[in-house]
Amino acid sequence: MLPRFLRYPRRPFRRALKVKQSMGQKSRKIEQCAVVGAGIMGGGIAYASVLAGVPIRMKDIERGQLERGAQEVERVLARQIKAGRLTEEAAQQVRSRLTAQLDYAGFDQVDLVIEAVVENLAVKHRVLAEIEGLVGPEAIIATNTSSLRIDDLASPLERPERFVGLHFFNPVPMMPLVEVIRGSRTSEATVATAVDYASTLGKTPIVVKDCPGFLVNRLLTAYLLGFAELIYDGADYIKVDEAMERFGWPMGPAYLVDVIGLDTMSHIIEIICAGYPERMVNKTLEPTKVLAAKGRLGQKSRLGFYRYETDSSGKRKKLPQPDTYQLLAASQPNGTREFSETEIVERMMLPMVLEAAVALEEGIVESTTALDTAMSLGLGFPKHAGGPLKYADSLGLDKVVELSDKYAKLGPLYRPSDKLRRMAAEKSRFYAS
């Protein structure tokens, strides 16, 4: 669950921000779709779809989940009506577009199925094969996985060219970004259709090449490893949060990890690190693990780095939790020490900037603008800095390399690519000035 700030912006992000995506192919109009899995994400996707006028079948194996998914749609509708954004009549129309079901009835009629079941490769393989056996030959199958590779998921499919990643962010009704992930066998027409569907939902689609973590979670992982290194070296997590919030992030890294869930984040980081062993070494993840091992999972267990209490008006409050320091001491072999705010910001931002440069070099996204937009919309990258690449330009690439050299002793996370070094030597930039 994301912070209130990201969950309930004053106005939902209705209009997709335009990022040029070179779609060489004609897309296919999605008139009917389905989502398999009625959990947090499936329910949100169903809501976004029916609100945008695209009827959807929502399938789950548990009646309770279907009911919860439908209740979630009701809850958001009620909020929209109360805020005067939707009439009761319009809400009724929206409701009529949703069919909650325990079977696969009607799947032979849909143009798109989005798989949103639990994050488990074997379960997803089984569900995807089931779906492929039911839908028409032209239908597209998408997955909302957050950490599994599209190519791995596609392996049992007979028509991998019709398979694509549609990575929505939580909570779906409010989050404007969708990463559209192109597997190595995904056809251009499938990508174009997925992009159009995300736009129909009022989202900003960014096409990303299949890689561990895709774009946003990959760069987030580099940033959180920077945080883990700081804690390992003795930094005070509250001071790190304060420094990063003053820098412009909606929340500091400890608070962010609390919101995402310490167990979830550890799992995602572990998978992503395994994909980049040459740069992302998971040695200092202990702080998150230490807390998670004590059952402190973040906001969902009311205790993580911080303690969470709900006041009499129902507002959630974040409070310091003194014993966090004692627990973290186990992962600070050299004790604690003071860090200047400048050092905190440099050590936190550099890994993300350097990983952004590598992702761009690898062609994970099409353009600097696409990368920076994804990081702003998906993660709330500080507005004044514009995105990791724009921020690098504003520092000057020579300064980025100079800082990397300053922190070289911290390991490969702080090592710039050869290309970035060349760009710095040539006084080059990511954006034309």
Known catalytic residues are 167
Smallest gap, in angstroms, from Cβ of residue 304 to ligand NAD?
A: 16
> Contacts for 405-412 with beta carbons within 8 Å, 24 or more apart?
406/346, 407/346, 407/347, 407/350, 410/229, 410/347, 411/229, 411/281, 412/278, 412/279, 412/280, 412/281
How many C-beta neighbours within 10 Å does residue 320 have? 10
Smallest gap, in angstroms, from Cβ of residue 6 to ligand NAD?
A: 12
Q: Which H or E run includes 91?
A: helix 88-96
Q: Which H or E run includes 427?
A: none
Instruction: Say how far apart CA 58 and CA 46 lie, in whole Å.
Output: 7
Compute the C-alpha angle 408/412/416, nearest 5°.
75
Crossing angle of helices 397-406 and 418-425, rounded to 10° = 130
The closest residue (CB) to ligand NAD is: 39
Smaller CB separation from ligand NAD, 103 or 311:
103
Taking only Cα atoms into account, the Rg of the chain, rounded to an integer number of angstroms, comes to 22
Smaller CB separation from ligand NAD, 144 or 193:
144
Smallest gap, in angstroms, from Cβ of residue 116 to ligand NAD?
A: 4
Smaller CB separation from ligand NAD, 12 or 416:
12
Which residues contact ligand NAD by CB under 6 A?
A: 36-42, 59-62, 65, 116-119, 123, 127, 144-146, 170
Longest Cα–Cα distance in the chain: 64
Smaller CB separation from ligand NAD, 178 or 189:
178
Smallest gap, in angstroms, from Cβ of residue 359 to ligand NAD?
A: 19
Smallest gap, in angstroms, from Cβ of residue 218 to ligand NAD?
A: 14
Smaller CB separation from ligand NAD, 40 or 52:
40
Amino acid identity of residue 325, one-letter, is Y
Helical residues (DSSP H) of 235-317, grouped into ranges: 237-247, 253-260, 262-275, 286-293
